[in-house]
């Protein structure tokens, strides 16, 4: 009988990309640590943006990687996790400024980077938990 | 939806992994179908039935709440 793995994994990166994603995140932290003393005050926002963007790329690689056996249930769990992380993103947008107001945080806005990173982290967390609970 | 996948598997003395390999899904998927956590698609139900040389109706049965 023909395997359904290739059909369901279409459009996703091969499973070894998980390690590439992890390596990208670790390298971005290491690079940030070593570059920090050499960065001037003017360059700080740019350095911060680049670091966060690289972390987002790493998280995206992990999130967009197929499982070893990608079948219809993994697609189902993936969609469920995406829906949950989307809802979490909306809640985060709504409640972050409220929480910031109560803890006297002057910056009540959230950036696109913050939102995307939170949603990606939440997606990876939810998908992993869901897959493990189906063992 | 009830199913007798576990019973059929026991009759044929095959493991979840062997059945999963036969139909090209993960062992977790077979486990979720057996424990009724996941309702398979028509294609997967047909594949499971085919693996046991039987029909879908013989393995899967609707319950009152379905």
Q: Are residues A65 and A123 in the same domain?
A: no
C-beta of residue A1 within 8 angstroms of C-beta of residue B24: yes
Whether residues A71 and B26 touch (CB distance < 8 A) is answered with yes
Distance CA A120, CA B27 (A): 27
Interchain CB contact of B46 with A (< 8 Å): no
What are the tokens at B42?
């028509």
What does the longest C-alpha to C-alpha distance in chain A come to? 62
Question: DSSP states of A11-72 as a string?
Answer: TSB-TTHHHHHHHHHHHHHHHHHHHGGG--TTTHHHHHHHHHHHHHHHHHHHHTB--SS--H
Domain-terminating residue out of A34, A53, A70? A70
pLDDT of residue A65: 93
* Helix/strand/coil for A34: helix
Distance CA A36, CA A28 (A): 12
Q: Are residues A86 and A121 in the same domain?
A: yes
A127: which residues sit within 8 A by CB, 6+ positions away? A63, A77, A78, A81
Partner residues linked to A65 by β-bridges: A13
Instruction: State the nearest Cα–Cα gap between A86 and chain B, in angstroms.
Output: 22
Domain-terminating residue out of A70, A89, A109? A70
A41: which residues sit within 8 A by CB, 6+ positions away? none
Q: What does the pLDDT profile of chain A (135 residues) look like in tens digits?
A: 544 446 777 888 999 999 999 999 999 999 988 888 888 888 888 998 999 999 999 999 999 998 888 889 999 999 999 999 999 999 999 888 888 777 776 677 788 898 999 999 999 999 999 988 865
Q: Are residues A114 and A79 in the same domain?
A: yes
pLDDT of residue A105: 67
Contacts B45 to A, Cβ<8 Å: none
Counted domains in chain A: 2
Domains and CATH numbers, chain B: 2-61 (1.10.260.40)
State the residue range of the domain holding A107. Answer: 71-135
Instruction: State the nearest Cα–Cα gap between A5 and chain B, in angstroms.
Output: 7
Q: Are residues A63 and A127 in the same domain?
A: no
Q: Are residues A119 and A79 in the same domain?
A: yes
What are the tokens at A75?
């697609």
Q: Are residues A95 and A132 in the same domain?
A: yes
Q: Are residues A124 and A81 in the same domain?
A: yes
pLDDT of residue A135: 59
Q: Are residues A100 and A119 in the same domain?
A: yes
pLDDT tens across B16-65, in order? 999 999 999 999 999 999 999 999 999 999 999 999 999 999 999 988 88
């Amino acid at each position: 009988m023909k395997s359904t793995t290739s059909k369901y994994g279409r459009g996703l990166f091969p499973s070894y990309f998980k390690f590439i994603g992890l390596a990208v995140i670790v390298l971005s932290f290491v690079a940030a640590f070593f570059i920090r003393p050499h960065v001037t005050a003017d360059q700080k926002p740019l350095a911060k943006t680049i670091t966060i963007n690289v972390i987002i790329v790493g998280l995206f690689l992990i999130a967009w990687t197929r499982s070893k056996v990608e079948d219809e249930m993994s697609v189902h769990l993936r969609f469920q996790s995406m829906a949950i992380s989307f809802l979490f993103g909306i809640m985060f947008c709504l409640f972050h400024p409220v929480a910031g107001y109560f803890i006297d945080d002057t910056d009540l806005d959230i950036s696109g980077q913050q939102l995307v990173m939170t949603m990606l982290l939440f997606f990876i967390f939810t998908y992993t938990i869901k897959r493990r609970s189906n063992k | 939806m009830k199913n007798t996948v576990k019973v059929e598997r026991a009759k044929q003395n095959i493991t979840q992994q062997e059945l999963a390999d036969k139909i090209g899904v993960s062992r977790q998927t077979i486990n979720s179908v057996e424990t009724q956590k996941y309702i398979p698609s028509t294609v997967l139900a047909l594949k499971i039935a085919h693996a046991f040389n039987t029909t879908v109706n013989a393995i899967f049965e609707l319950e009152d709440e379905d």
